[in-house]
Amino acid sequence: MGLLGKKEEPQPVKPVAPAAGARPGMPGRKGMTTLSPEAVFVGDLQGTDDIQVEGRLEGKVDVKGQFTVAPSGLVKADVRAKRVLISGKVIGNLTGDESVELHATAQLEGNITSPKVIIQEGAQFKGSVDMRTRDSGRPDAPPKQQS
């Protein structure tokens, strides 16, 4: 019974259109893979999706999307990604094709290569930074010549 004793009629259910680029079963998310806090991955990780590490990863990482290490994450690997965001611990070199960000809780033992580097106050970092712009995405490419 509805208000004032009127019987409410059931309303038809409207289907919800998935977000552009969403995968079946993953509404609104496009290409995000998460390594849970209890998970351990050992090996080479490659792909085009965004990756978030909340557990432990050892090996080598080469992804076309964003690579994120959560505060609970531990990564022992050289990492290459479009964008690298670190809030946990990383032992290895980081290459960000666009940017590398070390958040306040980050711990990094390794070198950074990226045209844009952000290191927040509180981050722990032991290594070097190379922010030269390169002609290609390859780490062995010579720096661009300034005219």
Radius of gyration of the chain from its Cα atoms, rounded to whole angstroms: 21
Write out pLDDT tens, residues 37-67: 999 999 999 999 999 999 999 999 999 999 9
Longest C-alpha distance within the chain, in Å?
A: 82
Its pTM stands at 0.72
Q: What is the dihedral of CA 98, 114, 124, 44, to 10 degrees?
A: 80
What pLDDT digit, counting tens, does each position of 24-36 carry? 444 444 578 999 9
Tell me the one-letter amino acid at 136.
S
The full set of domain ranges for the chain reads 29-124
What pLDDT does residue 134 have? 58
3-state secondary structure the chain: CCHHHCCCCCCCCCCCCCCCCCECCECCCCCEEEECCCCEEEEEEEECCEEEECCEEEEEEEECCEEEECCCCEEEEEEEEEEEEECCEEECCEEEEEEEEECCCCEEECCEECCCEEECCCCEEECCEECCCECCCCCCCCECCCC
Report CA-CA distances (Å) from 47 to 32, 42, 140.
Answer: 11, 15, 21
The pLDDT, as a whole number, for residue 25 is 43
Residue with tokens 């609104």: 28
For 52-89, b/e burial (b = at least 16 CB within 10 A) is bbbbbbeeebebbbbbbbbebbbbebbbbbbbbbbbbb
Q: Looking at residue 117, what is its pLDDT? A: 97
